[in-house]
Amino acid sequence: MSERTAAHLRRGLAHRSCRIVDSSAFSSVVFCLIAANAVLLGIETYSGVVHQWHGVLKAAEHFFLAAFTTEILLRAAAHADRPRDFFRDPWNVFDLLVVGLAFMPFARENATVLRLLRLARVLRAARFLPQLRIVIVAVGKSLPGTLSFALVGALLLYVYAMVGWVFFADYDPEHYGSLGRAALTLFLLMTLDGLGDAVRGGLEISRWTILYFGSFVLLGSFLLVNLLIGVVINSLEEARELEKERERTLPGQQPQVDDPAESLRAQLVAARQALDAMESSLVASPRSCACRGAAQAARTGV
């Protein structure tokens, strides 16, 4: 088999698989399978049901594993002509890991690991829910900002916990008797839980404690939390832009490029694909050899 024929077969396989994978019926079926798998996991938490229907539940698990394996193979076949693009999509990598690890010996022999892998399949529902996918991407993008928020919050807790230990350890050892207890008390105060009791207890010691609690609530509960909300909102906007870009670059659509060289390259690729399709139709239909040769010559010129 020549390289040209193999490339033609790969393009044909990718085209037929893309028609299946990109169809709404395929997405609906896979989403229903994920939902049914989640219901099965919930049913298995009841020991009586598991004891009575052990064989049926085991067969259902094998069915779901086979269905998800078939799904990931179809998605891989849709990229037969461009295998690298399959791994550029993080959702494809996640699906491949979730399904592939279920066949590993260490996972099949360890019931806990196998349950966690089956639970991870439920997370794949985000692939078919655009809004949920945006939220998950936003959470991932907000992690660097959240880490900075956590460091600033830890520093704030440490400073105020040390001040609380210095001034309140002798009067309220239950809440400020050590650095750890003081930090835990202040962490709970960030949620404004028990703030009234803490203020009243501080006022029994000194009126100046109102400055301590007031400044901590202002910095911890209002300033830091609003900063965290701002980080999440910015990440959510970035995730929405990425989702719009993903929709613009779906199969069958050409991505918008500003570079003239990239634009020309994209046009050449589109023209080459159109000529390949025309050549395939000429081979399949009873046309003259002259037309077929013209199509090949045009393709060689591109």
pLDDT in tens, the chain (302 residues): 567 777 777 788 888 888 888 888 888 888 888 888 888 888 888 888 888 888 888 898 889 889 989 988 988 888 888 888 888 877 788 888 888 888 887 776 676 777 777 777 777 777 777 777 777 777 777 777 778 778 888 899 999 999 989 888 888 888 888 888 899 988 888 888 778 888 888 888 888 888 888 888 888 888 887 887 877 788 777 777 777 776 666 544 444 444 555 666 666 767 777 767 776 666 555 444 444 454 455 445 44
**Rounded distance, CA 34 to CA 120, Å?**
10
Output the six-digit token pair for 298.
């045009």
Run of H or E residues at 226: helix 225-248
Q: Are 254 and 270 in contact (CB under 8 A)?
A: yes
Helix-helix angle 143-168:179-190, to 10 degrees: 120
Q: Are 145 and 229 in contact (CB under 8 A)?
A: no
Dihedrals phi, psi of 159, to nearest 5 degrees: -65, -50
> CB under 8 Å to 134, separation ≥6 — which residues?
236, 239, 240, 243
Q: Give the pLDDT confidence score for residue 162 in this predicted structure.
A: 92
Q: Give the pLDDT confidence score for residue 285 in this predicted structure.
A: 53
Q: Give the pLDDT confidence score for residue 250 in this predicted structure.
A: 52
Distances (CA, A) of 213 to 167, 206, 209, 220, 272: 12, 12, 6, 10, 70
**Rounded distance, CA 231 to CA 142, Å?**
6
- Cα dihedral value 214, 217, 218, 219, nearest 10: 120
Q: Are 195 and 217 in contact (CB under 8 A)?
A: yes
Degrees to nearest 5, angle at CA 236 with 231 and 237: 100
Distances (CA, A) of 136 to 72, 182, 243, 271: 21, 34, 12, 37
What is the secondary structure of 78-118 as a DSSP string? TTTT-HHHHHHSHHHHHHHHHHHHTTSHHHHH-HHHHHHHH
Q: Are 284 and 300 in contact (CB under 8 A)?
A: no
Nearest in space to 213 (alpha carbons), one of 223, 225, 201: 201
